[in-house]
Amino acid sequence: KLYTEELDKSWEILDQEATALKSRNSSINEEIRKEPPKGRKPLEKCSDLKELNETGMCGNSSRRWSFYAMHLTNMVTYDRVWVVLRRGLTMDTKVILNMLGKNNNAIRHCNYCSNKSHEEIKDELCNFKLNVSQLNAIASCISASNCCHRSSVGLVWGPPGTGKTTTLAVTLHMLLMKKQRILACAPTNMAVLQVASRLIGLIEDFSLSHHYSFGDIILYGNKDRLHIGKELSKIYLDDRVKKLLRCFNREVGWKHCVDSVLKFLKHCTSRYKLSLDIQASSDECSPTFKKYFTSNFSSLAKELVACIDTFFNHLPADTLGKNFDKMMFVKSLVHKVQQLFCADDLSDDDLFTIFKPSDELSDPSIGHHDLTDDATEDLPDHDISLDNPSEINSICIKTLMDLSKMRFPCEENESSVRDLCLKQAKLIFCTASGSFELFRLQGVMPISILVVDEAAQLKESESLVPLLLPGIEHVLLIGDENQLSSLVKSKIAKDADFGRSLYERLCTMGYTKHLLEVQYRMHPCINKFPNANFYGNRILDGPSVKQKDYTKNYLSGSIYGAYSFIHIENDMEMLDDLGQSLKNMVEVAVAANIIERLAKECWEKRQRTSVGVISPYTAQVIAMQERIGRKFEKHEFLSVTVKSIDGFQGGEEDIILISTVRSNKDGKVGFLSDAGRINVALTRAKHCLWILGNGVTLLASNSVWAELVNDSKKRGCFFDALKDKHLAETMRLAIKV
């Protein structure tokens, strides 16, 4: 009751905000009509908004009125949350009762399940080279999900660089080998892609495809936002549906391929004789029967095998049941036919004998192997060892005849194939909001395990969308409350905790978190400050980052070491043209100078390096993209990524430059002081982290930035940009402009 009352209160606040926004928008439109903003054309002549012209009906019929539509925000996610919230008021789910402490027995050991011990589960993970904290987190999750009598809720705390995504990918691999269905969600498309990509890489690196096929895994969502590459295309739903539709097509798909091979094997001799008669009348050179058979059968077999591979790679393993085994058996048979019938010691006469028409072949009951559904267990091994061409041909024809009668469990249209894939998949990747689509699927095995990545960034109300899917019994939340939280622009909604995550709520309720305590990303000098200030020095440096070769010298001088604060004293902090965001062109110039020298060094040393340029302010990001990003888009050895701090969560680069922008006498840093943003910004670099900022302003801010500046001075990592001749000249020119 308390839970739903709080959410109702949040929605009440949202309604108030929406009303206020509409009123404010009306006022703005009135002002624009009276007097257009400086530098903008009058509204009736403005072309940057969508213009809809209608003929006026009052007075002069020739008068034209102009209407303008402006997109404010996308309400799809909030609409879905609202629908699910109302549905949730009438539900009494076991897992939510467990979360709220209403079912205390849910967290006790189950006496009915003979589950494997943590040590047994850890032994199964020995090939993945995981550390102790990762093993403990995975073992705990697998052990809890093995129980079918009690629900479970698990939390994994994944600080930056501690292998959170790898831990999650291995966990999903282990869960995939169970009979339960799994839903893997995240707040953003980028986070979903990272986990899906890591799992695919894991499957290929460790040859795990024999445990399950890619057809058991599905990723769906907006293709324009997901940016699907070649690897992810293997599991992306839209691409999968297109490939399957071709195979389901009666004219060119599976039925056509099977019938073509079957008819050719049964009638190849008569077809050959007919081709001889045609060629004799045209005075063309006639091929031998062996050559005729080889060329024609190869092209038909290629199409059939391609269709089988599409089914194997894109249909969940349980979709066609025993027919999958028959398909793989046919694939082996076709390969064996090509191998035997193309042998040098097989003459045309031998082939004529093998393919002698026989009425017996039309009777499926005659032969060495009964291939009905009830007798699939008697199929020979896919690695056919028979060497008798006649016997191989007979078995192949009978198997194809059996498969030609096979019916697919869906209709030949996009919607039906899409639903089939979603209903049968064992693991589904999507955003938390996107999981709303799964509510409409009826009559399927329910999803019992929910895994949420970046859970600390997902609004509690939004997490209800996947959480209230029928059948959810086990929940695993992976995140870090010390990084970015969900974005809430409204102060009223923020004060009402609308942006709070379920992960954060459970932490305050005293839930135990499995801490991943070894980081493998940052040079120890980079990790030192965030580790002390955000994690109480609980994070250990992995052996790889402590090796000598992890220290990189990209530019000469101590100012460009693994970690440094580069003090840039100026008063060039300014608002952009719209008066909404801040920028600092001196810091832009300094960053550009450093990048240009890096590009030159990397070119001379033939050293491939990735650089990330980060700033918390949109105007600064835009300024640096115009000055830096576009210039190095096609550089052979230096890749440069310019993004906001929010856009860099989950990312990493060899070198990170942070532009703090703020430079004033009052120590004002605004939302730059947000601890989560600072933590994300400081933990993206692998080898070098260089922070550009006004040390005096940040010291006076009474925020974490003041502690950072003091720390850099104590460690001898504080440098004055004016003492570097390259930077000093750059600053002088920038200020002069």
Mean pLDDT of 30-39: 51
User: In this structure, are 279 and 135 located in the same domain?
Assistant: no
User: In this structure, are 428 and 318 located in the same domain?
Assistant: no
> DSSP character for 625?
I
- Comparing 172-181, 362-371, 465-474, the range with the smallest average pLDDT is 362-371
- Taking 90 as the threshold, does the pLDDT of residue 349 lie above it? no
User: In this structure, are 269 and 311 located in the same domain?
Assistant: yes
Q: How many domains does the chain have?
A: 3
Among residues 238, 221, 207, the alpha carbon closest in space to that of 128 is found at 207
**pLDDT given for residue 366 in this prediction:** 35
User: In this structure, are 688 and 590 located in the same domain?
Assistant: yes
Mean pLDDT of 231-240: 93
Res. 666 pLDDT band, cuts 50 70 90: confident
> DSSP character for 628?
I
Q: Determine which helix (DSSP H) or strand (DSSP E) holds 583, and give its type and residue range.
A: strand 582-584
Identify whether 411 is part of a domain: no
**Could you tell me the two tokens for 47?**
């072309």
- Comparing 177-191, 315-329, 504-518, 609-623, the range with the smallest average pLDDT is 315-329
- Comparing 210-219, 336-345, 351-360, the range with the smallest average pLDDT is 351-360
**377-415 pLDDT, tens digit each:** 455 444 455 567 788 888 888 989 988 888 887 888 899
Long-range contacts of 670-676 (CB under 8 A, 24+ apart): 670/582, 671/616, 672/616, 672/703, 672/705, 673/701, 673/703, 673/704, 673/705, 675/482, 675/534, 675/704, 676/482, 676/483, 676/484, 676/485
**pLDDT given for residue 381 in this prediction:** 47
User: In this structure, are 325 and 269 located in the same domain?
Assistant: yes
User: In this structure, are 682 and 588 located in the same domain?
Assistant: yes
**pLDDT given for residue 514 in this prediction:** 96
CATH code, 668: 3.40.50.300
Identify whether 88 is part of a domain: no
User: pTM for the full model?
Assistant: 0.83
User: In this structure, are 428 and 473 located in the same domain?
Assistant: yes
Mean pLDDT of 567-582: 87
User: In this structure, are 512 and 556 located in the same domain?
Assistant: no
Average pLDDT in the chain: 83
Q: What is the pairing mode between strands 609-615 and 638-644?
A: parallel
Identify whether 546 is part of a domain: no
Q: Determine which helix (DSSP H) or strand (DSSP E) holds 168, and give its type and residue range.
A: helix 164-176
Identify whether 12 is part of a domain: no
Mean pLDDT of 68-83: 81
- Comparing 25-34, 612-621, 722-731, the range with the smallest average pLDDT is 25-34
**Could you tell me the two tokens for 185?**
């969600």
Q: What is the CA radius of gyration of the chain?
A: 33
- Taking 60 as the threshold, does the pLDDT of residue 145 lie above it? yes
Per DSSP, helices labelled H in 284-342 are 289-314, 323-341
**Could you tell me the two tokens for 623?**
């300024």
Tell how far CA 52 is from the center of its chain. Answer: 39
- Taking 60 as the threshold, does the pLDDT of residue 596 lie above it? yes
β-bridge partners, 513: 155
Three-state DSSP at 433 gives: helix
Tell me how far apart the alpha carbons of residues 109 and 132 are, in angstroms, rounded to a whole number.
Answer: 23
**Higher pLDDT pick, 720 / 354:** 720
Q: What is the pairing mode between strands 50-55 and 64-69?
A: antiparallel
Res. 368 pLDDT band, cuts 50 70 90: very low
| Class of residue 450 by CB neighbours under 10 A (exposed 0-12, middle 13-18, buried 19+) | buried
Identify whether 696 is part of a domain: yes
CB 481 within 8 A of CB 507: yes
- Taking 50 as the threshold, does the pLDDT of residue 369 lie above it? no
Three-state DSSP at 86 gives: helix
**Higher pLDDT pick, 92 / 490:** 490
Q: What is the pairing mode between strands 152-157 and 513-515?
A: parallel
User: In this structure, are 325 and 461 located in the same domain?
Assistant: no
Tell me how far apart the alpha carbons of residues 379 and 98 are, in angstroms, rounded to a whole number.
Answer: 48
**pLDDT given for residue 65 in this prediction:** 58
Q: What is the pairing mode between strands 181-186 and 427-431?
A: parallel
User: In this structure, are 334 and 450 located in the same domain?
Assistant: no
Length of the chain as a residue count: 737
Mean pLDDT of 181-199: 94
Res. 278 pLDDT band, cuts 50 70 90: confident
Among residues 198, 245, 213, 246, the alpha carbon closest in space to that of 316 is found at 213
Phi-psi region of 552 (alpha: psi -120 to 50; beta: other; left: phi over 0): beta
Q: What angle do CA 91, 97, 99 make, to 5 degrees?
A: 125
Among residues 656, 594, 650, 580, the alpha carbon closest in space to that of 622 is found at 580
Which residues form the domain of 645?
Answer: 552-736
CB 731 within 8 A of CB 722: yes
Mean pLDDT of 37-52: 44
**pLDDT given for residue 544 in this prediction:** 95
- Taking 70 as the threshold, does the pLDDT of residue 49 lie above it? no
User: In this structure, are 337 and 428 located in the same domain?
Assistant: no
Identify whether 333 is part of a domain: yes
Identify whether 289 is part of a domain: yes
**Could you tell me the two tokens for 515?**
């801490």
Q: Determine which helix (DSSP H) or strand (DSSP E) holds 582, and give its type and residue range.
A: strand 582-584
Mean pLDDT of 402-431: 90
User: In this structure, are 714 and 567 located in the same domain?
Assistant: yes
Mean pLDDT of 413-426: 92
Identify whether 321 is part of a domain: yes
**pLDDT given for residue 365 in this prediction:** 37
**pLDDT given for residue 267 in this prediction:** 87
CB 614 within 8 A of CB 644: yes
| Class of residue 625 by CB neighbours under 10 A (exposed 0-12, middle 13-18, buried 19+) | middle
Tell how far CA 171 is from the center of its chain. Answer: 16
**pLDDT given for residue 489 in this prediction:** 82
Q: Return the amino acid letter for 105.
A: N
- Taking 70 as the threshold, does the pLDDT of residue 9 lie above it? no
Three-state DSSP at 420 gives: helix
- DSSP letters, 179-198, are SSEEEEEESSHHHHHHHHHH
- Taking 70 as the threshold, does the pLDDT of residue 25 lie above it? no
